[in-house]
Amino acid sequence: MEDLGSNIIGYDFPSISQEEVDYNSKYACYLLKSMIKISLRINFILYSKHKNKEISLFSKELKGSNLRFLKQHSPKRLFADGKLSLFHSFGDFVVDKKKVKRVLSIVYSIPDDVGVSSKYIKWLEKFERIICPSNVAAKRLAEYLPERISDINVILPGIGLKSPKIDNTQALQSVFGKYGIGSDYFLYMDEGAANNKNVRNLIEAYIKFWNRSQTIPSLVIVSGGGEIVFGGLEREASLLKSKNKLMIIDKIGDEELATIYSRARLFIFMPHKRQNIYSPEIIDAMANGVPIICSDEGFGSEITHNAARFIIPYDVDDICSALESLESNLGYRQSLVEGAKKFVSNYNWDTAAQKTLEVYKELV
């Protein structure tokens, strides 16, 4: 595609601290890398409220590109000189200058509380274009901005966790030993697991399955921190833990997580809020060839029916049935893996970058 020439693009750069990187930050990093790869002459100025040490971790990877970093509190000079053509926000920071075209990427969730609607709508109206990661997100935004449907773009992100490069038994045992994980396990991941009532339903369904067959794989829950509420199942959960059938991991790095993803028997995802408009966890699991169990709420409604086993997240019997069907029917497991492989092939960072640059061109 044509380069954007002398146009200067401002870029809201979220935290990239290596200690804890949220998906907003990963999305911004992956997208920027791909855009620079596609359009080598593009002029980016990255605004960040974070420390220079954090910024340097990322800027070293882009050495030689036409790229500068500025603190978020010092963009006035560029605005005053009229040098900034467009500003791309990820929600951390937004410019108020009307002469600067503004793009917003909504990455993970959209408020669903009527009480915040007017405030949220006023904020959305600052942007000439809004980029969504899913059709679910676009439809939800259209409820807030029915007159601006043409300004809402759906651009599918890419894959965050690629298959790990660990290919020797000693390295695998190191990862599994660190977290006390056996060779066969079901994986559930949710950064909001501590406040998710569906997790309690999953544990009850697992206990039900385990009572029928105590040779089933263990259950690994990556919670993102916080105490899991067992809701009357404390005794059963304690028993499962004592038998190495239930492991709860608070936080884990991407490389180790990719290893745990790739060796899982199946991946379970049941967000507890309608706000969930994109689930990178599901896309990453699909990319690693893991069969999926999920609800059809939020982003789940966008997944094709041959790519996942759908469940009712508050129905313990339905969850238990899903666990049993995927564990006992290898043909069904493989069919879901094949369906997921086709579904996830649409998620690519270079494609996302190409489409984002096209949005920039339309505005400048």
- My answer on whether 195 and 320 are in the same domain is yes
Same domain, 152 and 177: no
Q: Are 193 and 248 contained in the same domain?
A: yes
Lowest mean pLDDT among 57-61, 223-227, 269-273: 57-61
Q: Which residue has the higher pLDDT, 19 or 100?
A: 100
Instruction: Identify whether residues 107 and 174 lie together within a single domain.
Output: no
**Are 270 and 136 in the same domain?**
no
> Is residue 3 a part of any domain in this protein?
no
Which amino acid is located at 107 in the chain? V
Residue 123 sits in the same domain as residue 213: no
pLDDT at 274 over 60: no
Percent of the chain with pLDDT over 70: 77
Residue 333 covered by a domain: yes
Segment 27-84, tens digit of pLDDT: 888 898 888 888 767 777 777 665 555 566 666 666 555 566 555 445 555 566 567 7
pLDDT in tens, 118-171: 778 888 888 999 999 999 999 988 988 899 999 999 999 999 766 555 555 676
Domain, as residue range, for 177: 169-344
pLDDT at 18 over 50: no
In a domain, 164, yes or no: no
**Is 173 in the same domain as 107?**
no
Check whether residue 39 and residue 109 sit in a common domain: yes
Among the listed ranges 66-70, 337-341, 358-362, which one has the minimum average pLDDT value? 66-70
Residues 139 and 54 in one domain: yes
Lowest-pLDDT range, 165-179, 270-284, 339-353? 165-179
Is 145 a domain residue?
yes
Residue 189 lies in a domain: yes
> Which pTM value belongs to this model?
0.87
Indicate if 129 and 181 belong to the same structural domain.
no
CATH at 88: 3.40.50.2000
Domain count, the chain: 2
Question: Do 192 and 89 fall into the same domain?
Answer: no
